[in-house]
């Protein structure tokens, strides 16, 4: 029998070990790199800015595929990853060997753009099987926005006029730095050109809006500011007399939603358009008036979060004298459906009707109710979905409800406000006069709007719409 010597065994082991090393060299470890976010670095402050804060404007990125170039710093090997700047709903992934890398990409732009041009540069070291990277970009562009309220058109005036793009209630443009531009805005009242000049700095947000005059109540209607991720600088352009006044002398701000002009506060008038007075009872025992079909309004006083307005019975809705300012009318079922459709409610949901306040809401997925609800609801901490993107400013002041007749009462039942209900309700009768007892309801726990049966004896709020 033949035996191998120890030297032979040692040689065999050396060969095996060498082959393992060679195999490891040919198949280095690798990991999955995920690029999950694109952010712009905002570190600049605008000198003398009256407001120094970062806003939450959602930037509009290019809706076209671009290429991210990734380079291994040791070997110089290059990798390319396609990505869509506008869509990071899912991460963009690439398998890479362990090592040190640098990456870059650029989306260039012209003098004015409807998207944000930017550059991306960064480095990373891959030494794990998975790695997530948030890309940090820089830009030489500033953002100019114009709030849509009262605005007919908006453009940049220069050697070549540039019409601002429109999205979600704002006109906007991304403007390359170091330019002095003139913003020209025409209001829908008189079509007058109103101009402001601005020196554009990179990574700064300039928001323009039209401001109405101070009312006799001492209130000023500041249109809600656009907020975005640039440093923020705001200016207003004053528009004289752009409120609406009712027959009782009350002033209301106006908000444009689609092609409609709404009062941005609840009606609080006790005088019809023709000058006749509307009954304001001394107390809330209203049974006798309701049984005799006497129109009336109840007032619950002023609330710091926003005026409650008046609470009107159904007989006011039926009265042809018109409690709204002359040239305006009580918002109808058709008015509400037009606004709801503009805010995204599907057509198949517009006519859904319910007979109880606890029934089905409409436009929940699209957050149509959230878009009309003010974010500062009194008596409620549940209104977390509200964003008031429309400027409608709906408050949860509820309605007069819960008719009760105290024992021994000789005045009939009375009504009272249930502020704990977390609801806002408005009359919305059919424009044809049929089905007058229809209303709208929003809730602090729901993102939709209810279309619901109302009752003549239960007073509710009114919003007016321009004829």
- The domains found in the chain, sorted by start residue, are 30-138 (2.60.40.1120), 142-239 (2.60.40), 261-466 (no CATH)
Per-residue confidence (pLDDT) for residue 43, from 0 to 100: 33
Q: What pTM was estimated for this model as a whole?
A: 0.52
C-alpha 103/C-alpha 260 separation (Å) is 49
Q: CB of 325 within 8 A of CB of 411?
A: no
Per-residue confidence (pLDDT) for residue 356, from 0 to 100: 66
pLDDT tens digits, 341-392 = 999 999 999 999 886 666 688 999 999 999 998 887 877 778 888 888 888 9
**Which pLDDT band holds residue 198 (cuts at 50, 70, 90)?**
confident
pLDDT tens digits, 67-109 = 999 999 999 999 999 998 888 878 899 999 999 999 999 999 9
Per-residue confidence (pLDDT) for residue 19, from 0 to 100: 47
Give the least confident one: 163-172, 204-213, 299-308, 453-462. Answer: 299-308
Give the least confident one: 78-87, 146-155, 244-253. Answer: 146-155
C-alpha 218/C-alpha 411 separation (Å) is 39
Overall average pLDDT of the 165-170 stretch: 79
Which distant-in-sequence residues (6+ apart) come within 8 Å of 294 by Cβ?
Answer: 279, 315
Give the least confident one: 55-64, 204-213, 223-232, 436-445. Answer: 223-232
- The token pair that represents 18 in the structure block: 């060498």
Residue 9, pLDDT > 60, answer no
- The token pair that represents 40 in the structure block: 């712009």
Residue 237, pLDDT > 60, answer no
Tell me how crowded residue 206 is: count the other CB atoms within 10 A of its CB. Answer: 26
Q: CB of 397 within 8 A of CB of 378?
A: yes
Per-residue confidence (pLDDT) for residue 72, from 0 to 100: 97
Residue 284, pLDDT > 70, answer yes
């Amino acid at each position: 029998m033949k035996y191998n010597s120890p030297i032979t065994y040692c040689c065999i082991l050396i060969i095996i070990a060498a082959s393992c090393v060679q195999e490891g060299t040919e198949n280095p470890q690798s990991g999955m790199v995920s690029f999950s976010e694109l952010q712009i670095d905002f570190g600049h402050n605008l000198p003398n800015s009256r407001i120094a804060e970062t806003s939450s404007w959602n930037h509009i990125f290019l809706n076209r595929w671009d290429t991210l170039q990734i380079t291994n710093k040791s070997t110089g090997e290059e990798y390319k990853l396609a990505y869509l700047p506008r869509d990071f709903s899912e991460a963009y992934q690439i398998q890479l060997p362990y090592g040190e890398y640098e990456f870059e990409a650029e989306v260039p732009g012209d003098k004015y753009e409807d998207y944000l041009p930017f550059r991306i540069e960064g480095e990373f070291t891959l030494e794990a099987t998975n790695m997530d990277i948030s890309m940090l970009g820089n830009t030489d562009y500033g953002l100019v926005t114009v709030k849509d309220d009262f605005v007919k058109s908006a453009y940049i005036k220069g050697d070549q006029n540039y019409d601002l793009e429109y999205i979600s209630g704002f006109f906007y443009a991304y403007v390359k730095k170091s330019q002095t531009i003139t913003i020209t805005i025409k209001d829908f009242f008189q079509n007058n050109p109103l101009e402001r000049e601005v020196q554009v700095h990179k990574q700064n947000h300039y928001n323009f809006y039209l401001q109405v005059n101070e009312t006799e109540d001492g209130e000023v209607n500041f249109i809600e500011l656009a907020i975005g991720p640039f440093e923020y600088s705001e200016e207003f352009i004053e528009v004289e007399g752009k409120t609406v006044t009712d027959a009782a002398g009350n002033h209301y701000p106006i908000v444009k939603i689609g092609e409609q002009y709404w009062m941005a506060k609840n009606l609080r008038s006790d005088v019809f358009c023709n000058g006749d007075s509307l009954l304001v009872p001394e107390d809330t025992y209203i049974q006798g008036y309701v049984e005799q079909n006497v129109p009336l309004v109840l007032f619950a006083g002023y609330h710091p979060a926003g005026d409650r307005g008046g609470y009107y019975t159904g007989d006011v809705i039926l009265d042809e004298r018109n409690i709204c300012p002359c040239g305006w009318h009580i918002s109808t079922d058709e008015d509400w459906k037009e606004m709801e459709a503009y805010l995204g409610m599907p057509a198949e949901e517009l006519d859904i009707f319910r007979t109880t306040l606890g029934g089905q809401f409409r436009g929940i997925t699209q957050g149509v109710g959230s878009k009309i609800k003010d974010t500062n609801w009194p008596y409620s901490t549940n209104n977390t979905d509200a964003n008031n993107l429309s400027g409608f400013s709906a408050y949860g002041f509820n309605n007069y409800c819960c008719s009760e007749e105290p024992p021994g009462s000789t005045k009939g039942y009375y009504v009272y406000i249930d502020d704990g209900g977390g609801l806002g309700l408005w009359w919305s009768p059919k424009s044809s006069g049929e089905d007058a007892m229809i209303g709208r309801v929003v809730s602090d726990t729901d993102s939709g709007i209810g279309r619901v049966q109302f009752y003549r004896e239960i007073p509710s709020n009114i919003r007016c719409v321009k004829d």
